[in-house]
Structure 1
């Protein structure tokens, strides 16, 4: 099995709460950053999605907070897509300190919205595969 795609982020002081911990909402931003990064890595740009008339949508997100993060911590946010037969897909992500300590686990359900019809496309994996130069990075 290949290693999941990962992006490194440094926790910035302004992202922390009054206890000095990374604010809970920022985990969502880190996860979103990693998802857009893997799309770019696979050759899919936001403009290409818009030109095709589609856009990724988040339908559900669950976060398990496991260990605190503080300003200056280096974290790696990985991203693995799981594809099924329907209109949705899962994205599993882990936020880890540079020493490997897991700080959070993020599990999401996503879809690909047809921007004209305002409905999920039938097979999002096929659309991503058609747009990607490296669909293997997305597990396709």
Structure 2
């Protein structure tokens, strides 16, 4: 399953070069990850039941094309890989013309609320999104 979120570039997201500031893309990706969490059922309440939270430990992003004020962007998010305590999300941002604007792989790790140490993702939670791999 791939989740898509639509946004419109706002004036406050533009830098001195007249295009979206590079740091704003990280915000766009975060917004899409939060939507993805909700869509697959990894809500704060669900995570709290297991005494864990998900933290982002790495983001690799490639900027491909400028985005400008007023453009509509689509952010696609899907699971790329699942491990014992971590998983990687593939995220792609396209403009209205379908051109790739940016692509990223974000690695997230499950950590215990009590001590912030990594832990296995509970099978019951993993089942909520593991079916996406390869889909």
Q: How many residues align?
A: 134
How large is the RMSD of aligned CA atoms in angstroms? Answer: 2.2
User: Distance between the aligned counterparts of 1:57 and 1:113, measured in 2?
Assistant: 7
TM-score by length of 2: 0.87
> CA distance change for structure 1 residues 13 and 125 in 2, over 3 Å: closer, same or farther?
farther
Moved more, 68-77 or 111-120: 111-120
Partner in structure 2 of residue 35 of structure 1: 33
Q: Which runs of 5+ in 2 are unaligned?
A: none
For the residue of structure 2 that corresponds to 1:27, the secondary structure is: helix
Q: Which runs of 5+ in 1 are unaligned?
A: none
Partner in structure 1 of residue 125 of structure 2: 128
Query: Does the CA contact (< 8 Å) of 2:3 and 2:36 recur in 1?
Result: yes
> CA distance change for structure 1 residues 137 and 35 in 2, over 3 Å: closer, same or farther?
farther
1:106-121 matches, cutoff 5 A: 106-121=104-119
Partner in structure 1 of residue 75 of structure 2: 77
> CA distance change for structure 1 residues 29 and 37 in 2, over 3 Å: closer, same or farther?
same
> CA distance change for structure 1 residues 127 and 117 in 2, over 3 Å: closer, same or farther?
farther
Deviation at 1:138, TM superposition (A): 4.8
